[in-house]
Structure 1
Amino acid sequence: MKKLLFFLAGSLLTAQQTSELLSNNWYISKMVTSGGQTTNTPLIDNGVPATTFNSAGGTSYVINSKYYNSSMMSFGIMPGTNNLIKTASSCTLLYYNGGNAGPVRAYDQKNCDIYGLAAYASIYSYQITTNGNLKTLAITDPSGNKIYYNNSAQLSTKEIEAGKKTFKAYPNPVKEALHLENIERRLALKIYDLSGKLVFETTTNDVTLSIDTSGFQKGQYILVLENYKSYPFTKE
């Protein structure tokens, strides 16, 4: 009788867990490596599509983790736990050429790697937390990398950029310094490389600003100024 009650309790817990996974649309929000480096989801032209969980029959399920490409993993759930047992995986091979292309492509690859690189029967774990109407799903791969999802959609670059103000920036390409004009004071300014890494940040204190780029590596960057359209530039 005790064994039967334990089995029923485990089955009920598993049903509750999978119900919460299946009943929500999830939107990828950030990734955290096992070393603690966080990358927030880069803006993408058409916005982030919903990641979904679906039943594949019996105790088998499938996650379609969607960004630009879709990273699919089939899995089973260990009864009474938050552990997922991988049974198969695949990733689509579309190539993104829209706005913010560098960070989007790098992030897209990470999404594929988290579900695709681990071996058959690898163990993933997940946790769902709730704060008011916001639910957050965190999935941890066997290497300790985490991928986070929210149950609210992220806006697209087109939606966010529409109606934003512009500023004057020169020269482009830049060698020693990038000069900005017609900006507002007390705004957050950040510069990212094409991998999505933050390489510079400050707060504006005047209507003009000169940024020393002599220490930047050669390549392409994106300047993000609060309330303004983002500005891509090249460092020579």
Structure 2
Amino acid sequence: MRTKLFFLFISCSLFGQNAELFNNDWYISKIVLSNQTSDTPVMQVSTGTSLFANNGGNYNFNSSYYNSANSTITFNTVTDSFTRQGGGCTLAVYNGTNAAAAQAYDQKNCDFYLNTTSGAIFNYEIVNNSNSKTLIITKVTTGDKIYYNNSFLGTKENAIKKAFKLYPNPSTDFVIIENVEKNLKLKINDLSGKILFETLTSDKIQKIDISSFATGQYILSIENFKS
């Protein structure tokens, strides 16, 4: 009878990256340009969701209101900051309630990220409030800021967020992983550190074939996952 394989799980983060950036949906609450504060205008449609994404080790940040400012970014390995390498803004025209204010706010969001040269640096800070989180992104050259709030503790879905699961463990043929965000780098290493399997998580339930693995212990790691 074949001996079963046993998996150890670790959650890992690269230096300079806060897993909370990826594990929250962010919503713009105010923009501060040249010491002038603009609160988010109310629209007839919901404010867009701002998201950090990891696409196979290539990182993007999409800062969204009605339109979106999408930036390709590189994280600093020492400080809580990232460098913008490129990107662009969407150009949809909003003509609903508060149209003039909404259009001006869209332009400020776009200018904050895109009205800079490639290589512009932005600091970030996450502040924990009593029942929510605030993300503050600061443009280093000007001191301008954009504030984002999350809905991490404010929605029913997150209030009943399920715990990470890996089963069966030990296993002989496959393992199933549950309750992991999409587009996180997943690796399986043997105890010598050799990578035997690598992919991006695709859904909250993922099945991995390990039938070809030799009998032994293995380490499964998920980058930027807050377990």
User: Same-fold call, TM > 0.5?
Assistant: yes
Match of 2:28 in 1: 28
Aligned Cα root-mean-square deviation (Å): 1.6
Match of 2:42 in 1: 43
How many matched pairs?
A: 139
Query: Whole-Å Cα distance in 1 between the matches of residues 63 and 16 of structure 2?
Result: 21
Query: Whole-Å Cα distance in 2 between the matches of residues 55 and 152 of structure 1?
Result: 20
Query: Whole-Å Cα distance in 2 between the matches of residues 133 and 57 of structure 1?
Result: 32
SS of the counterpart of 1:14? coil
Query: Whole-Å Cα distance in 2 between the matches of residues 14 and 75 of structure 1?
Result: 12
- Compared CA separation, residues 56 and 87, structure 1 to 2 (3 A): farther
Output the amino acid matched with 1:133: N
Match of 1:57 in 2: 56
Match of 2:188 in 1: none
Shift of 1:36: 1.6
Query: Whole-Å Cα distance in 2 between the matches of residues 145 and 57 of structure 1?
Result: 30
Shift of 1:151: 0.2
Match of 2:148 in 1: 149
Q: Any unmatched runs of 5+ in structure 2?
A: 1-12, 153-227
1:79 equivalent in alignment to 2:60: no
Identity of aligned residues (%): 44
Counterparts of 1:34-183 in structure 2, within 5 Å, are: 35-58=34-57, 60-141=58-139, 142-152=141-151
Q: Which has the higher contact order (CA 8 A, sep 6+)?
A: 2
Shift of 1:111: 0.6
Shift of 1:14: 2.9
Q: Any unmatched runs of 5+ in structure 1?
A: 1-10, 154-236
TM-score under structure 2 length normalisation: 0.58
Output the amino acid matched with 2:16: T
Shift of 1:118: 0.8
Query: Whole-Å Cα distance in 2 between the matches of residues 121 and 50 of structure 1?
Result: 25
Give structure 1 regions of 4+ aligned residues with deviation exceeding 2 angstroms: 11-15
User: Hey, which of these two has a bigger chunk of helix by percent?
Assistant: 1
* Bigger Rg, which one: 1
Shift of 1:12: 4.8
